[in-house]
Amino acid sequence: MGETLGAHVFRAKQIAGDFEARFGERPRIFHAPGRVNLIGEHTDYNEGYVMPAAIELGTFVAASPRTDRRLAVHSMQFDESCEIEIDAARPRGDWTDYVAGVAVMLERAGFRIGGANLLIASDVPLGAGLSSSAALEVAVAMALAPGPVEAPALIERRTLAKLCQRAENEFVGVQCGIMDQFIACHARAGNLLMLDCRSLEYAYVRLPGGVKLVIANTMVRHDLAASEYNKRRAECAMAAAYFGKSLRDVKLSDVDGAAMPDLLRRRARHVVTENARVLEARAALERGDLRAFGNAMYRSHASLRDDYEVSCAELDALVAMARDLRGVHGSRMTGGGFGGCTISLVEERHLDEARRALMRVAEVYVSSPAGAAVEIMDF
């Protein structure tokens, strides 16, 4: 934790320098983390359970205020600049939509934005399923409505998460659930977050020491990802309509006995069994049983592959590979699917071995559960 904060301050110093060179002012700097989901996939938009953690990769947004209702934005990652007129903001179909969308939703929620100069620097890989978009949205929202320095939490964090999700749903046009924005706002270092996506009640579950999150990036993102995501949402809505209730309230015996098309039955079965697996995984973690936790991860992957059909050959191969490595408790695809990353829980003493093996076929990031979005001070 201290190490991460130290690294953040170091990075913030550099970013402040870049900002001053570009905008001639000293900024305030905000940071929001990417995330990895340990278990509970495609359950958030079904009012179910998820168990993500923030990771040590994240997005920095440096900001200074303007008074002309404009956002002058520069992205270091794209090496691109743009100007957004808050009163005339329209989606353009690129990265600037996350910034404009958040500004529009803040205004709709009653926060008046004078305008801002913004510089964005991120180390969350794009399109890898590690929530680079949620990290950007949350850091931008904090930068645009920062509150006074002595009380930076102007917006209550649950509201902040919902507002960023709305930006993505209504402005960017992606029908994501609440998981990614919520974890960026509520993560706690060293812990997984157990979230009930219906009530938004949450609890922290400590990851035992000596275990690391090992993320393996297939570096592929199949074109179907967005359209298939929306299709799964629609199929879940159809299945829920069939049962006359949210899939959260459906029992496995209802699914097995239902006279419904096989495809809808399998979609429902994934959601119902996945919710049960999250509860099982939480209990396992609370009693320190990483083997049982890992076993739930493997079964989650199989269900996503066979019943929900959102995995792909590259993800399946990485999970199969991790399974054969020493010190791996569990492994599965993480995020929406159709490419992106796998997450494996790995014993620290076998970390080098596991990392080296996975690195032969994937880009690998090692992390501990990181903290939530913050304003970086004292840089």
Q: Is 180 a catalytic residue?
A: yes
Which helix (H) or strand (E) element contains residue 55?
strand 52-65
Site for ligand GLA in 334-353 (CB under 6 A): 335-336
Question: Of 24-53, which residues contact ligand GLA (CB under 6 A)?
Answer: 41-42, 44-45
Q: Which of 53, 179, 297, 345 binds ligand GLA (CB under 6 A)?
A: 179
Contact 127, 217 (CB under 8 A): no
The catalytic position among 180, 254, 289, 378 is 180
63 CA to centre of own chain? 23
Our CB check for ligand GLA shows the closer of 52 and 369 to be: 52
Q: What is the DSSP string of 282-342?
A: HHHHHTT-HHHHHHHHHHHHHHHHHTS----HHHHHHHHHHHTSTTEEEEEEESS-SEEEE
Which residues partner with 116 through β-bridges? 65, 71
Cα first-last separation, the chain: 17
- CB closer to ligand GLA, 47 vs 180: 180
Q: Cβ of residue 238: shortest distance to ligand GLA, in angstroms?
A: 17
Q: Which listed residue (61, 118, 142, 176) binds ligand GLA by CB under 6 A? A: 176
Cβ of residue 174: shortest distance to ligand GLA, in angstroms? 7
C-beta closer to ligand GLA: residue 125 or 336: 336
314 counts as binding ligand GLA under rule CB under 6 A = no
* Closer residue to ligand GLA in complex, CB, 27/129: 129
Point out which residues pair with 64 in neighbouring strands: 117
Measured from the CB of residue 166, what is the shortest distance to ligand GLA in angstroms? 13
C-alpha span between 195 and 280 (Å, rounded)? 14
In angstroms, give the least distance from the CB of 42 to ligand GLA: 5
Residue with tokens 């993320």: 215
Name residue, tokens 């913030």: 12
How many chain residues touch ligand GLA (CB under 6 A)?
10
Cβ closest to ligand GLA, residue 54 vs residue 113: 54
Q: Which helix (H) or strand (E) holds 87?
A: none
Chain residues in the site for ligand GLA (CB under 6 A): 41-42, 44-45, 176-177, 179-180, 335-336
Q: Which residues are catalytic?
A: 180
